[in-house]
Structure 1
Amino acid sequence: MAVQGKEPVSAGAVLGWLALSALAPGAAHLRAGRRTAGLILLSCYFAGLLALLALVLTTDNLLGSLTQDSWLTAIVVGAAALGVAWFAVIVHSFVVLRPGRLPQNGQILAGTLAGLLAVAVVVPFGLVAQYVWTSQQTLGDIFTGPEPAEPAVPAGQEPPQDPWAGRERVNILLLGGDADDNRTGVRTDSMNVASIDVKSGNTVLVSLPRNLENVRFRPGTPMAQRFPGGFRLPPDPGGGRSDLLNSVWEYADAHPEIFGGRRQQGPQVLMDTIGYTLDLKIDWYALVNMWGFARLIDAIGGITLTVEQDVVFGKYNEGLVKAGTRKLKGADAMWYARSRTYSDDYTRMRRQRCVLGALLGQADPATVLARFNRIALAAKELIRTDIPRSMLTNLVPLALRVKNAKVTSLQFVPPLIRTGYPDWDKIRRLTAKAVRDSAAATSAVAASATPSATPSASPSATDGSSPRKSGKPSTQPSAPPTKGLTEGCGAG
Structure 2
Amino acid sequence: MRGGGAAEDEGRPRRTRRRPVPRDQQPAHDPAGGPPPQHPQQPHPAAERAPEPPPGRPGPSRRRAAPRRAADETATAPSRAAHPTGPYAPEQAATGHDNPGQEPPRPRGPRFGRPMSVGAIIGWTALSAFVPGAAHLRSGNRRLGFILLGVFGAILIGAILYGLQFVGNVGAAIRESTLITLTVASIVLALAWFVLVLLSYITLGPDRLPQSGQIVSGIVVGVLCVSVMAPFALTATTVNTTQEFLNAFPSDHENPTAVPVKAEDPFNGRKRVNFLLIGGDAAGNRTGVRTDSMTVASVNIATGNTVLFSLPRNLQHVHFSARSPLNKQFPNGFHRELPNGGLLNEVWQFAEDNPSFGLRGPEALKDAIGTTLGLHIDYYAMVDMFGFAALIDAIGGLKIRVTQDVKYGGKFGTAGTIKAGYRTLNGEQVLWYGRSRVGSDDFSRMARQRCVIGALAQQASPQVVLTNFTKIIQAAKRLFRTDIPRQLLEHLVDLGLKIKGAKITSTQFVPPQIWPGSPDWEKIKKMTTTAIRKSVGTTPVVASATPSAPGASATPPSTTPTASASSSGLATPTPNKNTADQTLSDLCGF
TM > 0.5 fold call: yes
Match in the other structure for 2:385: 290
477, 481, 491: which one aligns with 2:580: 481
87, 91, 94: which one aligns with 2:198: 91
Give runs of aligned pairs for residues 238-253 of structure 1, distance below 5 A: 241-253=340-352
Q: Deviations over 1:405-431 (max 9, x none)?
A: 221111222223121221222211221
Give runs of aligned pairs for residues 177-256 of structure 1, distance below 5 A: 177-232=280-335, 241-256=340-355
CA distance in 1, matches of 2:519, 2:449: 22
Give the unaligned 5+ runs of structure 2.
1-109, 541-566, 569-578
Give the C-alpha shift of residue 346 in structure 1.
0.9
The alignment status of 1:389 with 2:496, answered yes or no, reads no
Give the residue type in structure 1 aligned to 2:320: F
133, 153, 159: which one aligns with 1:26: 133
Match in the other structure for 2:272: 169
Match in the other structure for 2:183: 76
Give the residue type in structure 1 aligned to 2:423: R
The two structures, once aligned, show a CA RMSD in angstroms of 2.7
Q: Are residues 305 and 4 of structure 1, via their aligned partners in 2, closer, same or farther at CA, if it must alter by over 3 Å?
A: farther
CA distance in 2, matches of 1:175, 1:398: 20
Q: Are residues 59 and 303 of structure 1, via their aligned partners in 2, closer, same or farther at CA, if it must alter by over 3 Å?
A: closer
435, 439, 442: which one aligns with 1:338: 435
Query: SS state of the match for residue 441, structure 1?
Result: coil
Q: Deviations over 1:133-164 (max 9, x none)?
A: 0010011124456264549xxxxxxx882222
Asked if structure 1 preserves the Cα contact closer than 8 Å seen for 2:118 and 2:217, the reply is: yes
Q: Are residues 483 and 143 of structure 1, via their aligned partners in 2, closer, same or farther at CA, if it must alter by over 3 Å?
A: farther
Query: SS state of the match for residue 177, structure 2?
Result: helix
Q: Are residues 164 and 110 of structure 1, via their aligned partners in 2, closer, same or farther at CA, if it must alter by over 3 Å?
A: same
Query: SS state of the match for residue 306, structure 1?
Result: strand
Match in the other structure for 2:419: 323
The alignment status of 1:117 with 2:224, answered yes or no, reads yes
Asked if structure 2 preserves the Cα contact closer than 8 Å seen for 1:7 and 1:97, the reply is: no
CA distance in 2, matches of 1:211, 1:298: 30
The alignment status of 1:146 with 2:238, answered yes or no, reads no
Asked if structure 1 preserves the Cα contact closer than 8 Å seen for 2:115 and 2:209, the reply is: no
CA distance in 2, matches of 1:220, 1:105: 84
Query: SS state of the match for residue 524, structure 2?
Result: helix
Asked if structure 2 preserves the Cα contact closer than 8 Å seen for 1:216 and 1:230, the reply is: yes
Q: Are residues 36 and 62 of structure 1, via their aligned partners in 2, closer, same or farther at CA, if it must alter by over 3 Å?
A: farther
Q: Which of the two has higher C-alpha Rg?
A: 2
Give runs of aligned pairs for residues 56-71 of structure 1, distance below 5 A: 56-58=163-165, 62-71=169-178
Give the C-alpha shift of residue 103 in structure 1.
4.6
Give runs of aligned pairs for residues 388-467 of structure 1, distance below 5 A: 388-441=485-538
Match in the other structure for 2:396: 301
- The 10-residue stretch of structure 1 (129-138 or 57-66) with the greater mean CA deviation from structure 2: 57-66
Give the residue type in structure 1 aligned to 2:374: D
Give the residue type in structure 2 aligned to 1:484: T
CA distance in 1, matches of 2:585, 2:314: 23
Give the C-alpha shift of residue 42 in structure 1.
1.7
CA distance in 1, matches of 2:366, 2:259: 20
* Percent identity of paired positions between Structure 1 and Structure 2: 47
Give runs of aligned pairs for residues 25-44 of structure 1, distance below 5 A: 25-44=132-151
Asked if structure 2 preserves the Cα contact closer than 8 Å seen for 1:8 and 1:14, the reply is: no
Give the C-alpha shift of residue 70 in structure 1.
2.4
Give the residue type in structure 2 aligned to 1:146: N
- The 10-residue stretch of structure 1 (385-394 or 199-208) with the greater mean CA deviation from structure 2: 199-208
Q: Deviations over 1:352-397 (max 9, x none)?
A: 1122222223334444344433322221111100001111121111
Match in the other structure for 2:362: 267
Asked if structure 1 preserves the Cα contact closer than 8 Å seen for 2:194 and 2:229, the reply is: yes
CA distance in 1, matches of 2:315, 2:195: 66
Asked if structure 2 preserves the Cα contact closer than 8 Å seen for 1:99 and 1:107, the reply is: yes
Asked if structure 1 preserves the Cα contact closer than 8 Å seen for 2:418 and 2:433, the reply is: no
CA distance in 2, matches of 1:39, 1:308: 65
Match in the other structure for 1:450: none
Query: SS state of the match for residue 141, structure 1?
Result: coil
CA distance in 1, matches of 2:395, 2:423: 15
- The 10-residue stretch of structure 1 (139-148 or 292-301) with the greater mean CA deviation from structure 2: 139-148
Give the C-alpha shift of residue 334 in structure 1.
0.7
Query: SS state of the match for residue 189, structure 1?
Result: strand
CA distance in 2, matches of 1:222, 1:233: 16
Query: SS state of the match for residue 25, structure 1?
Result: coil
CA distance in 2, matches of 1:182, 1:315: 15
- The 10-residue stretch of structure 1 (368-377 or 201-210) with the greater mean CA deviation from structure 2: 368-377
Give the C-alpha shift of residue 345 in structure 1.
0.9
Give the C-alpha shift of residue 101 in structure 1.
3.0
Give the C-alpha shift of residue 58 in structure 1.
3.6
Give the C-alpha shift of residue 234 in structure 1.
5.4
CA distance in 1, matches of 2:161, 2:506: 41
Give the C-alpha shift of residue 486 in structure 1.
4.2
156, 159, 164: which one aligns with 1:52: 159
Match in the other structure for 1:310: 405
Give the residue type in structure 1 aligned to 2:158: A
CA distance in 2, matches of 1:373, 1:209: 35
Match in the other structure for 2:446: 349
CA distance in 2, matches of 1:180, 1:142: 24
Q: Deviations over 1:312-346 (max 9, x none)?
A: 33334322223133322222211110011211111
Asked if structure 2 preserves the Cα contact closer than 8 Å seen for 1:26 and 1:42, the reply is: yes
Give the C-alpha shift of residue 119 in structure 1.
1.8
Give the unaligned 5+ runs of structure 1.
152-158, 444-469, 472-479
Give the residue type in structure 2 aligned to 1:301: G
Query: What is the aligned length?
Result: 440
Asked if structure 2 preserves the Cα contact closer than 8 Å seen for 1:177 and 1:288, the reply is: yes
Asked if structure 1 preserves the Cα contact closer than 8 Å seen for 2:307 and 2:505, the reply is: yes
Q: Are residues 46 and 387 of structure 1, via their aligned partners in 2, closer, same or farther at CA, if it must alter by over 3 Å?
A: same
Query: SS state of the match for residue 248, structure 2?
Result: helix
Asked if structure 1 preserves the Cα contact closer than 8 Å seen for 2:379 and 2:483, the reply is: yes
Give the C-alpha shift of residue 5 in structure 1.
5.0
Q: Which of structures 1 and 2 has the larger relative contact order (alpha carbons within 8 angstroms, sep 6+)?
A: 1
